[in-house]
Amino acid sequence: MNGRPVSRRAVLGGLAAAALVPLARGRAPEAGAARSHGGPGGAPRATGPGDAAVLSSPGQMRGMWIASVNNTNWPSRTGLTAEQQKSEFTSWLDLAVSRRFNAVFVQVRPTADAFWPSRHEPWSQYLTGVQGRDPGYDPLAFMVEEAHARGLALHAWFNPYRVSLQPDPARLVPDHPLRRNPGWGVTYSGGLYYNPGLPEVRAFVQDAIMDAVTRYDVDGVHFDDYFYPYPVDGQEFDDAEAYARHGKGFADRAAWRRHNVDLLIHEMGRRVREEKPEAQWGISPFGIWRNAATDPLGSATSGSQSYDDQHADSRGWVRKGWLDYIVPQLYWNIGLPVADYAVLASWWAKAVAGTHTQLWIGQSVYNAGAPGQPAAWQDPAELSRHLTLNGDHPGIGGDVYYNSGDVRADRLGAMTRLQAEHYARPALGPVLPRLASGEPPRPPVVTGARRTSRSAELTFASEGRAEPRLYAVYRHDPDGTGHLLAVVPGGPGGRFTDPAWKAGSRYRVTAVDAANRQSAPTLWVS
């Protein structure tokens, strides 16, 4: 690593184990099993002994990134038919469900292009091999529908400034925005970028992204660590002309560049909240904001610094309240001298303290068992230890894993171990603080219930005008313990069977909306 941690993208840029079975309409809920009433907010009101701790759980982010640039994860290669692409994508979703994840972060604008019929930019070359060629279906619409059908949230992942991984504008489609506006571009380190210092670029990038955000039922709007490109020795990002025009009043070019990125982040956040308020807005920056040797507010690390290298003031965005969530990429092992995971997890937990920004940690599954990595990454317990350590910091609300291919590869059995030790049960996603006080869904109705000697079976239906995004099924056992048993995809109704039924167990079902707010629970006593 030459003493300098690098980004994972420096080059490339649940359901419970219990089955869902067809269910005949059973007996009605027993007498006395009336629906309970809840209050406003993300969690329903408890209605019996031991219910409070179970029903008031704040939720936990469990996600994975699915990268499209260079056909990293999906589509696996160009030239696949629409049906082959769809089959590949649903296999990634099924993987997420099998790992008891509740969200996927899918790259839909990798290089100033689109995985939907954009009004502003061409079809992505990573779909067909040819930029601008229609793939024969709407990938983003398909992705959203299939994710929601499995109870997964879908965060649409956009790269704001990267145009191409090659430097020749003539290789872009003739009607590409950069060819129509050649002054917008900067060639750097073998690639093309939009110039963040131009106000017209900033407006265009936002419009291109909001085209997808407003037209599709995405659950989140997501940027990664790419703003100004990572510095390369001996090369200069040539924005001198834009700086001369727009940089007056700034101490130096670095301060002006940070201001340019700040404007994009602030304005994007405002637009998301105004035009799609139920969507979560967040960023996954490089894991080190600044080193303490550079800034007393920084971390006890000695690696690259996003504030200085990408001109990304990630800590400032958090403190100013511009983000709903932040996912710093902490892709290093516990004890690494230049960037200790334990040090950085603690630093970020303190950075978000007192704010309304949720903190989830970006985890590097790709390091587990990888040749050339430190000895810590040859230990199958390293990733699981990260989550154990996270538990010491209440401000850490979940994790996102890079990338889906490495989640599937499961080298050393590291993901299997992590799942067994930390994801034994499903989890709902977290509720945004700015949406927690909103109107929760109406409680569902138990429409059928029966039990056998070994199982309990429930069917339930929505009672509100809006169909729930999910149903959450809780079980409370006679010994006073209780837990979330299953998350069932939403719609007009759902069904669930518990093969581990215990006599005297109580079941509660809540409706969950797109913001992860829960209704009051409906009770059924077996």
Residue 177 lies in a domain: no
- Residue where a domain stops, chosen among 407, 434, 461: 434
Instruction: Kindly write down the DSSP assignment for every residue of 110-149, as one continuous string.
Output: SSS-BSS--SSSPBPHHHHSSTT---SS-HHHHHHHHHHH
Is 348 found in the same domain as 373? yes
**pTM exceeds 0.95 for this model:** no
State the residue range of the domain holding 74.
Answer: 61-162+197-434
* Residues contacting residue 526 through CB under 8 Å, at least 6 positions apart: 449, 451, 456, 501, 503, 504, 505, 506, 507
Q: What angle do CA 53, 398, 108 make, to 5 degrees?
A: 135
Tell whether 236 is covered by a domain: yes
Q: Is residue 319 one of the residues assigned to a domain?
A: yes
Tens of pLDDT along 42-64?
Answer: 444 444 544 555 566 779 999 99
* Cα end-to-end span (Å), the chain: 58
pLDDT value of position 53: 52
Answer yes or no: do 428 and 458 share one domain. no
Residue 42 located in a structural domain: no
Distant-in-sequence, close-in-space partners of 107: CB < 8 Å, separation ≥ 6: 13, 65, 66, 67, 68, 69, 115, 157, 158, 159
In terms of domains, do 68 and 138 share one? yes
Amino acid at 59: G
Please check whether residue 303 is in contact with residue 288, taking contact to mean a CB–CB distance below 8 angstroms: yes
Domain end position, chosen among 434, 459, 481? 434
- Asked if 321 and 444 sit in the same domain, the reply is no
In this structure, what CATH number is given to the domain that contains residue 497?
2.60.40.10
Smallest Cα–Cα separation from 498: which of 471, 448, 443, 458?
Answer: 458
| pLDDT for position 466 | 85
Confidence of residue 478 (pLDDT cuts 50, 70, 90): confident
Whether 89 and 154 map to the same domain: the answer is yes
Question: What pLDDT digit, counting tens, does each position of 256-295 carry?
Answer: 999 999 999 999 999 999 999 999 999 999 999 999 999 9
Q: Please say whether the beta carbons of 334 and 382 come within 8 A.
A: yes
Residue 487 lies inside a defined structural domain of this protein: yes
DSSP summary character for residue 48 = S
Instruction: Let me know whether 379 and 494 are in one domain.
Output: no
Identify the burial level of 389 via C-beta atoms within 10 angstroms of its C-beta, where 0-12 means exposed, 13-18 middle and 19 or more buried. Answer: middle
* Residue 16, SS3 per DSSP: coil
pLDDT tens, 180-231?
A: 999 999 999 999 999 999 999 999 999 999 999 999 999 999 999 999 999 9
Q: How many domains does the chain have?
A: 2
Residue bearing tokens 């604008």: 109
Q: What does the alpha-carbon distance between residue 166 and residue 193 come to, in Å, rounded to a whole number? A: 10
The pLDDT-based confidence of 35 (bands split at 50, 70, 90) is very low
Contacts 24+ apart (CB under 8 A), 373-376: 373/333, 374/333, 374/336, 376/333, 376/334, 376/335, 376/336
352 & 321 share domain: yes
Residues 398-454: tens digit of each pLDDT = 999 999 999 999 999 999 999 999 999 999 999 988 888 878 999 999 999 888 888
**What's the confidence (pLDDT) of residue 481?**
85
Residues 216 and 201: beta-carbon distance below 8 Å: no
8 belongs to a structural domain: no
What percent of the chain clears pLDDT 90, i.e. is strictly above it? 81
pLDDT level of residue 29 (50, 70, 90 thresholds): very low
- Residue where a domain stops, chosen among 385, 417, 434: 434
Conformational region of residue 256, where left means phi above 0, alpha means psi within -120 to 50, and beta covers everything else: alpha
Residue 506 phi, psi (nearest 5)? -115, 140
Cα 414 to the chain's mean position, in Å? Answer: 21
The domain that holds 145 is classified in CATH as 3.20.20.80
Close Cβ partners of 512 (under 8 Å, ≥ 6 residues apart): 428, 441, 468, 469, 470, 471, 472, 487, 490, 518, 519
pLDDT at 37 over 90: no
